[in-house]
A and B are shown apart, each in its own frame.
Chain A
C-alpha cells in the first residue's frame, strides 16, 4: 500500500518535506453550489449541436460547395449550352424534319402530300440500289480514286461526273411561304424513324460524298415506308445519288417516275434536269 506523501509524518529529505508542504497547501476541488446550480440551469435550454457534429458537417460541406463552385465555373466557361443532346425524348427534340430542311438545301415537298405512292417506284428503286451492309459511319472525303472504286462497286461502272454539291433545286423553283408552312407541318408530322433515315442518306450524300451509301439508305426507306411522309425527299436523294454515281439512265428513270407521280412537286426541276441529261 502506497501512502500519500502529504500524510507522512517523517520525510527523508528537505525536498520531500517541501513537496509535501506544497501538496498540503491545495485542497480538493470544491465547486460552489451556486455554480453547480447555474451549470445545471444552463443545460436545461435547447440542445446545442455538439462541436464534433459541427466539425463533421463543416468538413463534409467543403467538398460539396467546392464541387458546386467548380461545376458552375466550368459551365460558365465552356458549356453555355449545357443541355444534354442524347437524353432528350423524341417529343422534346426539335423537329427532325425541320433539321433536315435546315441542314440541307434539299427543299421539302409542299404539295401532293397525300398522293399515293406508285408501286413501281419503290420496287425499281429497291432493285437498283445496293443494300447497305456495314454500319453507317462517317467516311473520308471522296477522292477521285475513291469515287472510281465506288463507281466500280456500283452497277453503272461509270465515272463520277456530277458535282455532289450541286443544288437539287432548279433555278427559279417556286418556294412560296404558304408552302413552307405546309412543309414544316408535314415534316413535323413525319415519324422520327423516317426522318432519321432520310437525314442519314442526305448526310452520306452531302457530307461523306458517299452516293452508294446514300442510295442504299433511301432504298431502305422506300422499302420500309412506301407511303411515308418523306417519299418525295427520298426520291430526290435517290436521283441525286444516282447522278453522283454516274448512273444517268437510272436517274432519268427515277425522275420520270417522279414527274408522273408528282407533276407539280417541289423537285420537278431536279427531275427534269435528270431526264434531260447533261447539256452539250
Chain B
C-alpha cells in the first residue's frame, strides 16, 4: 500500500478480480488490508501473523462457495470473527508468557517510515492505549477512517451498516478521543504543577 508524504494512504480501491476467484489472487489483493482491519480490531501485534493465517485458512476453505459481490465485506466479517477468538484467548495465551509483550507496539514496522523516532513511538503507544478503552465499533471506525484512509462508504460496505451509522460512530469515537486527550493533558498539567 502506497503512502503519501504525510504518511497517509490514498483511498483504497476495490480490486477488480476475475471470476471465479483464485485464492492466491484474493490473498495478494487483500492481505495488507486484512492486517489493517485486524489492527483496528485490537488484535495484539504479536499475534497478527497467526491471526492473518487463520483468516486466510478460512478464506481458502470457503472461497469456492462464495458467490457474493461484496468480497471485502465477506473478508472483513471473517477477520472480525477471528479477531474475537484471538481477543478471547489472548489472556490464556499470555498467561504463561515469561516476558510480557508490549501489546501496543508493532512487531513489524507498520508505519510509513522505518526511522521512527522515540517521540513517535511514544505517541503511537499513547494513541493505541486510548483507543483500546473505546468500544470496538467506535475504535474500528475511527482507525479505518482516520488511519487506514477508508472512506465512509467503504467502511459502511465493510461493516455492513448504513453510512449514517458510520458517521455516528465516527462522531462518538472522536468525542471519546478528545475526552481522553483532555484528561491526559490535565493529568500532565497537574504533574508539572501548572494551574
Contacts and interface: CB of A to CB of B under 8 A. Distances in A.
Given A26-B147, A30-B1, A35 B56 contact: no
A15 B32 CA distance: 32
Interface string B119-162: 01001101110100000000000000111110010000000000
Interface string B146-181: 111100100000000000000100100010011001
A36 B120 CA distance: 25
B31 A30 contact: no
A65 interface: no
A175 to B, nearest CB: 79
Q: From DSSP, what is the main secondary structure of chain B's interface residues?
A: helix
A59 interface: no
A7 B8 CA distance: 9
B147 A27 contact: yes
Nearest to A23: B146
Interface size class of A (residues with CB under 8 A): 20 to 34
Contacts of A25: 120, 123-124, 127
B1 A43 contact: no
Q: From DSSP, what is the main secondary structure of chain A's interface residues?
A: helix
Interface stretch (A47-55, A68-76, A78-86, A223-231): A47-55
A4 interface: yes
Interface in A8-24: 14-16, 18-19, 21-24
Contacts of B57: 43, 47-48, 50
B181 A22 contact: yes
Contacts of B39: 29
B8 to A, nearest CB: 7
A32 B48 CA distance: 12
A40 interface: yes
B20 to A, nearest CB: 18
- Interface-central residue, A14, A36, A39, A43, by most chain B CB under 10 Å: A39
A232 B175 CA distance: 107
A101 B24 CA distance: 81
B8 A35 contact: no
Given A40-B27, A43-B57, A32 B109 contact: yes
B6 interface: yes
Contact of A28 (B36, B56, B174): B36
A134 B124 CA distance: 95
Given A32-B109, A36-B31, A27 B8 contact: yes
Contacts of B127: 22-23, 25-26
B74 to A, nearest CB: 16
A42 interface: yes
Contacts of A29: 1, 32, 35-36, 39, 110, 148
B91 to A, nearest CB: 17
Interface in B91-113: 108-113
B15 interface: no
B177 A19 contact: yes
B35 to A, nearest CB: 5
B160 to A, nearest CB: 20
Contacts of A2: 152, 167, 170
A46 B146 CA distance: 39
Contacts of B145: 4
B53 A5 contact: no
B146 A30 contact: no
B174 A19 contact: yes
Contacts of A39: 31, 49, 52-53, 56
Given A26-B111, A40-B27, A51-B85, A35 B49 contact: yes
B35 A26 contact: no
A198 to B, nearest CB: 70
Given A19-B174, A22-B130, 7 more contacts: A6-B8, A14-B185, A15-B181, A19-B178, A23-B147, A39-B53, A50-B61
5 contacts: A7-B8, A22-B126, A30-B110, A30-B111, A39-B56
